[in-house]
A and B are shown apart, each in its own frame.
Chain A
Amino acid sequence: MTWRPRLAEGTAPALVFLLLLLIGLAIVGPAYSEPAGYLALLKRAAPLMILAIGQYLVIVSGGFDLSVGALVTAGVVIAARLIDGDESAAAWVIPLVLGFGLLVGLVNGLITTKLLVPSFIVTLGMLLVLDGATFLWTGGAPRGALSEGFRMFGRGAAEVPLLGAVPWSVLILLAILVAAVLFMRGGTGRALVAVGDNEATVRLSGGQVDRLRLLAFALSGLLAAVAAILLGGFAGVSAQVGNGLEFRAITAVVLGGVLLGGGRGSVVAAAAGALSLESLFTLLNLLGVSGALKSAVQGVIIIVAVAYASLGGGVRQRLRLWPKQRNHVRPAQPASSS
């Protein structure tokens, strides 16, 4: 018997798409003929990939988190205001920003699970509240400045034995990705996916549905705060830093083949979706396509990806180049009787 990697449905096309984009980059961009180019790409993509991992946790359990973009902006603005150039402040501001993200996520989760407001609405409300509060607090132009210690994570690099200088953001991304994969393989992670599939079943199996969903929102908030720290370091202080990131993260997750509404998809594929999106933008940029098309491209992707997932097996069967051999296998019958 040959060993075949076991991928969640929808994962394989996402990985193939990413591979094609990376090959495309290697052909078009001279910078991508060596590892350093890809490392730079990964560094640029790291915040979005981290956001996508958080968004994945919420989507796979049956929700949406629209508040992450506004949360990134709020995180950066708060950090700038509190640090205001004071080198020593980063040590306490970073935990504070992370705590703030966690708190926002918890509030999202509590309102969703206890007040039974759909998460789409809760997090849309949170987006507006955070946007408004940030605007009020800064008057439209953020004050203060980030310190070197804070910005190090977004733009600095660490010396890693054998590899040389690896950006901090890439290391943080890898750590989060590994943790997320382990989490999703464990009992709690599997139960979280099951909640997205059928809440009633999990509840009647003795699971704590509310707590699981709360956990997903809290982690999404926390990861958004991590993304804020990386983006603040990478791009500096701006009141627009998080604009539209929530939709970009959702696009990434959908591009990763994760089922909207929950119940299916892998976290690696969601992160790969984010990297694909960033690669695609880079590729378009290299090809001289206007940056203004970014959101249009994103819109097309999200529609095509969801359409592909909804059309289901029939179309994929026809699109498949080499039909699978099915002879020794019992016919997969739909669950209905007879």
Chain B
Amino acid sequence: MTTGTTTSVRLTGITKSFLGVPVLHGVDLELRGGEVHAVMGENGAGKSTLLKVLAGVHKPDSGSIEVDGGEVSFASPTDAQRAGIAIIHQEFTLLPHRSVAENVYLGREPVRRMQVDRRRMIADTRELLDWLGEEGIDPADPVSALSVAQRQVVEIVKALSTDARVLGMDEPTAALADHEVELLYDLVRRLRERGIAILYVSHRMREVFDLSDRITVLKDGQLVTCAPTSELTSEDLVRHMVGRDLGEYYPDRATPDDLGPVRLALRGAGNARVRDLNLEVRAGEIVGLAGLQGSGRSAVARAVFGVEPFTRGAMEVDGSARRVTRPRTAVRLGIALVTEDRKGDGLALRQSVRDNTLLVRRAALRGARSRVKSDLSALLDKVNVVARSEHQEVRFLSGGNQQKVVLAKWLAVEPTVLLIDEPTRGIDVGAKRAVHEMLRDLARRGVAVLMISSELPELIGMSDRILVMHDGAPAGELPAGASEGAVMALATGHGIGEVA
């Protein structure tokens, strides 16, 4: 299981095409035991394909793979596993109703006298958990009783139980809550100390800087750079990934002249999840809503939109008091909600770009306001959706293009209040910038924007004001350009009730 020797895996000149479309050309990558090697790149840069080549899922068209100096060829993931390479996928593959140990040894259960040797399975799993320093997980517990972060640990233990010495991790923090991310960092560091080689695929700049020893950047299937993390800055990385200088990250903020009348006002509003909300959002302004996961920041948007309506206090839209008890009412008042889960409730994935874009117009605004001037293709041009045609199903689009379709869906009805939750989650750097510019552009045209984001640089860079939530209530308001420290202090509950 543990080895004193350091493993190394070397991929040289890996080329891979799908249906004649090159996805990787001549990519080199080296992984060493005891090192975290991050791979970054925009969506479609080839990160996942590279990972799959390493895992034996895809066979490269050319190029070689060496493990510990000997050339190998993987015909299947099983071959890669035998060579000590395992991948932790974004989607978890555990069976929720089976125990941790049963999951770890799924399909490879130790057998004794024609029976599954449960005792040994549990003992071996416990040994691995102890080795990782994860004593908190009981191998006999069902997986359904574990948190998302703990399930990830089980995935890793499962990989280690096959004697894996090289772990590939694909966006490991995507499914984790903020406080679980730290736990994962610790775990990755412990794996590194124990001589495991880690290939870490991620979008998140900060994560990569916190964890990795080396960074490889891919763009359009080609290797752009590979350098020790200490020699790179985040500006370098962005430039490498995008292939151009992004210069200023965020569009200019609103000036006092840009601000119009109050479009959305909450007065002492609350429900079961949030309370004591007093908030005004003006035309032309982007108000950021910060807070830890579970602090009620998304619940505010859902309450305004009538998904879980306010039960106390008052809400005003464009100066008149309104009770919004269902989304339809909100939509008809000119309120739009871009949710954080675009695949879950933002899009109908099997419908075309066209049908998704027209969904609100068709579903909510029959009659009265259904004839909106903007015509569909002009709208799709404006948000710059890249699709084969407007009849392509949206599930085939990249995350960034999907998000643009969600925005187009709302722009089609010209909302006056836009609630947007995690505007750029899981989309690449180029699309991120486009979304940011679109939001600012909307604000300039007189839309009141309430933006929720767990990415502090984005929140601070975009917002004209920041309201910080803590435990279901506002903890304080900060001006534009506040420091991350100030936001975090309020979000974590410091500075409340702390008098001098």
Least distance between B424 CB and chain A CB atoms (Å): 12
Least distance between B37 CB and chain A CB atoms (Å): 16
Known: A263-B350, A338-B171. A331 touches B21 (CB 8 A): yes
Most chain B CB within a 10 A radius of its CB, from A187, A205, A330: A205
Docked-complex contact B396 and A205, CB < 8 angstroms = no
20 contacts between A and B (CB under 8 A): A194-B348, A194-B356, A198-B344, A201-B348, A202-B359, A204-B327, A205-B327, A205-B331, A206-B330, A323-B19, A327-B20, A329-B388, A330-B388, A331-B19, A334-B395, A334-B396, A335-B396, A337-B90, A338-B43, A338-B171
| Interfacial chain A residues near B201, Cβ < 8 Å | 338
| Interfacial chain A residues near B8, Cβ < 8 Å | none
One digit per residue, 1 when the CB lies within 8 angstroms of any chain B CB and 0 when it does not, for chain A 308-338 equals 0000000000000001001101111111111
Least distance between A185 CB and chain B CB atoms (Å): 11
| Interfacial chain B residues near A208, Cβ < 8 Å | 328, 363
Tell me, yes or no, whether B391 is within 8 Å of chain A by CB: yes
Least distance between A298 CB and chain B CB atoms (Å): 27
| B window 361-387: CB within 8 A of A | 361-366, 370, 386
Q: How far is the CA of A208 from the CA of B174 in the complex (A)?
A: 32
Docked-complex contact B171 and A205, CB < 8 angstroms = no
Q: How far is the CA of A338 from the CA of B52 in the complex (A)?
A: 12
Q: How far is the CA of A80 from the CA of B305 in the complex (A)?
A: 53
Docked-complex contact B328 and A207, CB < 8 angstroms = yes
Known: A190-B358, A206-B330. A198 touches B363 (CB 8 A): no
Docked-complex contact A191 and B327, CB < 8 angstroms = no
| Interfacial chain A residues near B351, Cβ < 8 Å | 190, 193-194, 197, 263
Least distance between B12 CB and chain A CB atoms (Å): 22
Q: Which of A198, A206, A335, A336 contacts B364 (CB 8 A)?
A: A206
- Chain B residues with CB under 8 Å of chain A are 18-21, 23, 41, 43-45, 47-48, 90, 170-171, 174, 201, 203, 305, 307, 327-328, 330-332, 337, 339, 343-351, 355-356, 358-366, 370, 386, 388, 391-399, 402, 409, 426-427
Q: A208-B328, A264-B350, A337-B48 are in contact. List 8 more A-B contacts (CB 8 A).
A: A6-B391, A190-B351, A193-B355, A197-B350, A206-B331, A206-B365, A332-B392, A337-B171
Known: A187-B358, A326-B19, A337-B399. A198 touches B43 (CB 8 A): no
Q: How far is the CA of A148 from the CA of B46 in the complex (A)?
A: 71
Docked-complex contact A202 and B397, CB < 8 angstroms = no
Q: Which of A191, A207, A335 contacts B395 (CB 8 A)?
A: A335
Q: Top 7 A-B pairs ranked by shortest CB distance? A: A206-B364, A207-B363, A206-B331, A187-B362, A200-B345, A197-B348, A338-B47
Q: How far is the CA of A151 from the CA of B372 in the complex (A)?
A: 49
A interface, size bucket? 35 or more
Least distance between A196 CB and chain B CB atoms (Å): 9
Most chain B CB within a 10 A radius of its CB, from A188, A191, A326: A191
Tell me, yes or no, whether A203 is within 8 Å of chain B by CB: yes
Docked-complex contact A205 and B388, CB < 8 angstroms = no
Q: Which of B343, B370, B398 contacts A333 (CB 8 A)?
A: B398
| Interfacial chain B residues near A193, Cβ < 8 Å | 351, 355
Q: How far is the CA of A330 from the CA of B43 in the complex (A)?
A: 13
Least distance between B358 CB and chain A CB atoms (Å): 7
Q: Which of B21, B171, B347 contacts A201 (CB 8 A)?
A: B347
Closest residue of A by beta carbon distance from B90: A336
Q: How far is the CA of A337 from the CA of B44 in the complex (A)?
A: 8
Docked-complex contact A198 and B347, CB < 8 angstroms = yes
| Interfacial chain B residues near A194, Cβ < 8 Å | 348, 351, 355-356, 359, 363
Least distance between A26 CB and chain B CB atoms (Å): 34
Q: How far is the CA of A37 from the CA of B200 in the complex (A)?
A: 67
| Interfacial chain A residues near B23, Cβ < 8 Å | 331
Closest residue of B by beta carbon distance from A329: B388
Closest residue of B by beta carbon distance from A189: B362
Known: A197-B348, A207-B359. A332 touches B364 (CB 8 A): no
Q: Which of A200, A206, A264, A330 contacts B363 (CB 8 A)?
A: A206
Least distance between A76 CB and chain B CB atoms (Å): 37
Known: A205-B331, A205-B409. A335 touches B358 (CB 8 A): no
Q: Which of A197, A203, A333 contacts B396 (CB 8 A)?
A: A333
Closest residue of B by beta carbon distance from A212: B363
